[in-house]
Structure formats: C-alpha cells, structure tokens
Copies of this chain bind each other. A is one copy, B any other.
Amino acid sequence: MSGLIALDWGTSSLRAFRFDGEGRLEETRARPWGIRHLPEGGYDAALAEITGGWPVLPRLACGMVGSRNGWREMPYLDTPANAAQLGGALGSLRAADGLDVHLVPGLRDPFGPDVMRGEETQLIGAMALRPSLAEAATFILPGTHSKWAEVRDGAVAGFRTLMTGELFAVLRQHSILGATGAEAVNDAEAFARGVASARDSGAAGALSRLFSTRALMLDGALAPASVPDYLSGLLIGEEFRAALAGGLGGRDTPLQPIGDAALCERYRRAAVLFDIELPPPIADAAAHGLWRLATQAGLVHDAFQESRAC
C-alpha cells in the first residue's frame, strides 16, 4: 500500500487528505480543530480521529502545527526556497500511535523580516498544479494574514504579509467603526466605494481614511448596515494599493490568487478597480503542495514524476 496522508493544520481548522500512490486525491476530511481549538486529547486525539479507518501511510503536516504554539516547533527556512529545499528540510515527531508525523518548515523572508507557515506549502502546490506560473508570478493568498508572494524559477523568492483580515476583525469587533447599531448587510456598492477610497488615498494610504468610515455614516452618506462592507473594501483596497506601491504584483508577471472562493471573489472585485483582472483562484493548493514535498522528501514514490524524468 502506498500513498500519503497530508495534513493542513492551521490556527482554526484541520484538513486531512488521503492520496493514493500516484498522487490522486482520494478523500478529504475537515474538522474545526485548529491548534487553538483542539479536541480533548489534543493533537494525538485529533490525528487519530481525522485519519480513522485510513491505512497506515506516511503522514506530512504543514501550517501552524509547526509553530512555537503548535505540536512541535519547526524552524523557518530563508527565502529564496524551492520544493527541493523545503522537502529536504522536513522535521518529524513521534505521535502517541508510535508512528511519525513529518512537518514542513515555515518560510522567512529576511528582507521584511516576514514569516509564513502553511502558505509555503500552498505555493509549492500552486506551482505544481500550474507549472507555467512557476517561472515568474505573484501569488495572493488572502486571509487573516494575507500574503503576497513572488515566485521565480520555481522558488518562493520573497513575500509580504498584510494583516487585512485580522485588522478588519478587530476594527469591526472592538473599535468605534464597528459601533454602527445595525445588522450588517451585503452591499457590493459600499465595498467598491471603500476600495476606490483606498486606491485614491495615494501615498498617504488608507489608514488616513479609516475614520472617514464613521464620518460618512454620521453624514448619512453611508448606511450603518453597509459600514462593514465599506470597511472591508477600504482594507482590501489598501492591501492592493500598498502591495502595488511596494513593488509587489508588477504588471509584467501574472497575479494569481490562491484560496477560499468567496474571499478570492472579493479580491477579484477589488482588483477590477485597480484595472487588474484576477483569474479564478487555485483550490486545494495545500494538499498538492504536501504531496509534492512528500515526493521531494522521498516519503512517497512519485510514479508520475519518475515517468517524466525518464
């Protein structure tokens, strides 16, 4: 029996993928057991449950499971780093079932400094799924901590984190901007207004327009229920403005989103206002990245790769 159990284990969720010996994804399972929300019994119990009934196979995990607050801390590899380097730097731990769990290291961009855990695996997977992008592309991975990553010659060359998602959450839940007294509604027009305001903020940036969210509401020019979508547009627009102003996502290389379809759709709508057409996002990038790194590390025998090499 050959194959791989691949684990994408983040802060708020755990996903497990079972691959057959030829890299075909046979089954996917998901649990709300991020490293901050483990079930009773902790990591071992979560692992046993989510892989219940699956054959004994090599296991490889990426994400915050390898962080300081995770199961075992893995070091960061400095950029630039490619699949061979990441695959050659796996660590491992012995689980309670007596078998190993291998862990992918995180990546560190010394020019930030900046760090990522989990996204490096998604980037490897995205390059495996779209080999044409491995030469030169900028990937956007929206989320709590959005990443803009530059890829060159199959390696992650550098990246920058923008705390868009977390900023939105804390401002909405804990700042005066969230105190609207109204139930939020979807308002695509308010979202677009927010994006445009960030785009037009120039070098000052949208931080200097944050308070305008409230001023517009007091003015009666923004419905209280539309404040969250306006704020979301302002912050995602600021992510584009700042990334482009910082030299990320130059127009000579493709810009490719990776991740959740609904969130990437927001990014696609924001990009339009910057005259950028974003393609549909790449899905299941983490799973395919884990497969790719497992083959690099020799954890599994990659029949397809071998046949290509002949």
Contacts and interface: CB of A to CB of B under 8 A. Distances in A.
A219 B78 CA distance: 12
A68 B214 CA distance: 12
18 contacts: A108-B219, A112-B209, A113-B219, A114-B215, A115-B218, A145-B176, A161-B215, A162-B211, A163-B207, A167-B207, A170-B171, A203-B203, A203-B245, A203-B246, A204-B243, A205-B205, A205-B207, A205-B238
Contact of A176 (B166, B207, B246): B166
A1 interface: no
Interface string A156-193: 00001111001100110111100000000000000000
Interface string A191-230: 0000000000011111111111011101101000000000
Given A160-B208, A161-B211, A163-B211, 17 more contacts: A68-B218, A113-B221, A114-B211, A114-B212, A115-B218, A163-B175, A163-B207, A167-B175, A173-B174, A174-B174, A203-B205, A203-B245, A203-B246, A204-B243, A205-B205, A206-B207, A208-B246
Contacts of A202: 203, 245-246
A163 B208 CA distance: 8
Interface residues of A, number: 42
Contacts of A166: 175-176
A175 B163 CA distance: 10
A113 to B, nearest CB: 4
A242 interface: yes
A115 B215 contact: yes
Nearest to A172: B170
Contact of A245 (B205, B215, B246): B205
Contacts of A210: 162-163, 167
Q: Which of A171, A173, A205 has the most CB of B within 10 A?
A: A205
Contacts of A246: 202-204, 208
Contact of A205 (B68, B76, B112, B242): B242
Nearest to A160: B208
Given A173-B174, A176-B166, A112 B212 contact: yes
Nearest to A176: B166
Contacts of A113: 212, 215-216, 219, 221
Interface in A252-305: none
